[in-house]
Amino acid sequence: METIIKGIDGVEEAAEVIKRGGLVAFPTETVYGLGGNALDPEVARRIYAAKGRPSDNPLIVHVSSAEEAEPLVSVLSETARRLMSRFWPGPLTLVLPKSERVPYETTGGLDTVALRCPENKCTLEFIRACGLPIAGPSANTSGKPSPTEARHVYEDLQGRIEMILDDGEASIGVESTILDLSGETPTLLRPGAVTAAELESALGRSVVIDPAVLSGSVGEGVHPKAPGMKYRHYAPKAKMTLVTTAFLREKDFRVAESERVREDERIADFINEETEISVKAGNRVGILCCRETEELYRTGYGNIKVDIKLLGSREDPLSMTHTLFRLLREFDADAVDEIFAESYPERGVGFALMNRLRKASGMREELLTEEE
């Protein structure tokens, strides 16, 4: 099969492909999705096969309005309604009890369905043109960073899907926040651009953070609420180490400039030392940092260059989530063997950023202790 790439003028054609039971990768404000008819069990099977994804990992179902979500759930609580009206369209996925219309193939055998209404104009036009709910996991092959550009989708899924709708770079760059509303307490299953604090203020009650979000993985024998959490994700090929300090973990940057500079230097000193060791051992080394700290890093050793990549500005965590997955793919393309990454405050969207950095590093984290 040849995968064709179309711009947003291809929306009608893309909808025809979906109605015929085909697969179309589509843009959203978070990451590109791999779309198909969410009500067709055979299509769900094709999606899993195209991604190389285990079929017990459920798919997110995309709708173009809260009204379209109604027939897909068995009960639509007042809480769910409130969150939909406050955050949709936008990067929030809600897990709700499914109705009979949604096949178990789409939900990975669960009695709940994850629903989301994306904010992107082209995406909404596409869903409306299909006239169907669209199952859409991220359009990467399983285990790779989610695609934030059409060419990433092409790299991963070329020849396995009918079409890619290209609408440029995804603005947010990391996947949607997932909130489980199917139990007694609203539970955050995946952090994203809609923050826990925003959800709490809309709900007027506290939100529980699922333990698997904090640990980044799930213990043996534990059945995770979002089955996706048990798989390795977002991983570059290189060995990646996230470098942090106790100070960064516990506080944030609303502190004296002098303290902040000291923390930056401690992290950079450590990374520079480790980089030198790794380079001398014959490795190609990459560093993931931000605009504010770039100048603290040594750019080369002799004629060997260090592959320094900038996430964006730490004053604006969305500028960093926007670039993260693209840079992880670039490290792969550059055949980097080892990556060192800085840590950032986990406030607001910084929580989602750090969650993805932890996953990319396979939870390999170096905590710098206080100097004597």
- Which residues contribute to the site for Mg ion (CB under 5 A)? 138
Choose among Mg ion, ligand TXA, none what residue 33 binds, the Cβ cut-off being 5 to 8 Å by kind: ligand TXA
Choose among Mg ion, ligand TXA, none what residue 28 binds, the Cβ cut-off being 5 to 8 Å by kind: ligand TXA
- Of 144 and 284, which CB lies nearer to ligand TXA in the complex structure? 144
- Of 186 and 228, which CB lies nearer to ligand TXA in the complex structure? 228
- Of 57 and 99, which CB lies nearer to ligand TXA in the complex structure? 57
- Of 138 and 244, which CB lies nearer to Mg ion in the complex structure? 138
Q: Closest CB to ligand TXA belongs to which residue?
A: 228
Pairing of strands 92-97, 112-116: antiparallel
- Of 138 and 177, which CB lies nearer to Mg ion in the complex structure? 138
Choose among ligand TXA, Mg ion, none what residue 58 binds, the Cβ cut-off being 5 to 8 Å by kind: ligand TXA
Minimum distance between the CB of residue 4 and ligand TXA, rounded to whole angstroms?
Answer: 20
Choose among ligand TXA, Mg ion, none what residue 241 binds, the Cβ cut-off being 5 to 8 Å by kind: none
Choose among Mg ion, ligand TXA, none what residue 136 binds, the Cβ cut-off being 5 to 8 Å by kind: ligand TXA
- Of 73 and 248, which CB lies nearer to ligand TXA in the complex structure? 73
Q: How far apart are CA 73 and CA 98, in angstroms?
A: 4
Minimum distance between the CB of residue 114 and ligand TXA, rounded to whole angstroms?
Answer: 3
Minimum distance between the CB of residue 62 and ligand TXA, rounded to whole angstroms?
Answer: 6
Nearby residues of 16 by Cβ (< 8 Å), 6 or more positions away: none
Minimum distance between the CB of residue 188 and ligand TXA, rounded to whole angstroms?
Answer: 11
Phi then psi dihedrals of residue 148, to 5 deg: -110, 0
Kindly list the residues in this chain that would bind ligand TXA in the complex (CB under 6 A). Answer: 28, 30-31, 33, 57-60, 93, 95, 107, 110, 112-114, 116, 118, 136-138, 175-176, 178, 189, 225-228
Minimum distance between the CB of residue 335 and ligand TXA, rounded to whole angstroms?
Answer: 26
Minimum distance between the CB of residue 199 and Mg ion, rounded to whole angstroms?
Answer: 21
3-state helix/strand/coil string of the chain: CCCEEECHHHHHHHHHHHHCCCCEEECCCCCCEEEEECCCHHHHHHHHHHHCCCCCCCCEEECCCHHHHHHHECCCCHHHHHHHHHHCCCCEEEEEEECCCCCCCCCCCCCEEEEECCCCHHHHHHHHHHCCCEECCECCCCCCCCCCCHHHHHHHHCCCCCEEECCCCCCCCCCCEEEECCCCCCEEEECCCCCHHHHHHHHCCCCEECHHHHHCCCCCCCCCCCHHHHCCCCCCCCEEEEEEEHHHHHCCCCCCHHHHHHHHHHHHHHHHHHHHHHHHCCCCEEEEECCCCHHHCCCEECCEECEEEECCCCCCHHHHHHHHHHHHHHHHHCCCCEEEEECCCCCCCHHHHHHHHHHHCCCCEEEECCCC
Minimum distance between the CB of residue 71 and ligand TXA, rounded to whole angstroms?
Answer: 17
- Of 107 and 361, which CB lies nearer to ligand TXA in the complex structure? 107
- Of 119 and 307, which CB lies nearer to ligand TXA in the complex structure? 119
Choose among Mg ion, ligand TXA, none what residue 359 binds, the Cβ cut-off being 5 to 8 Å by kind: none
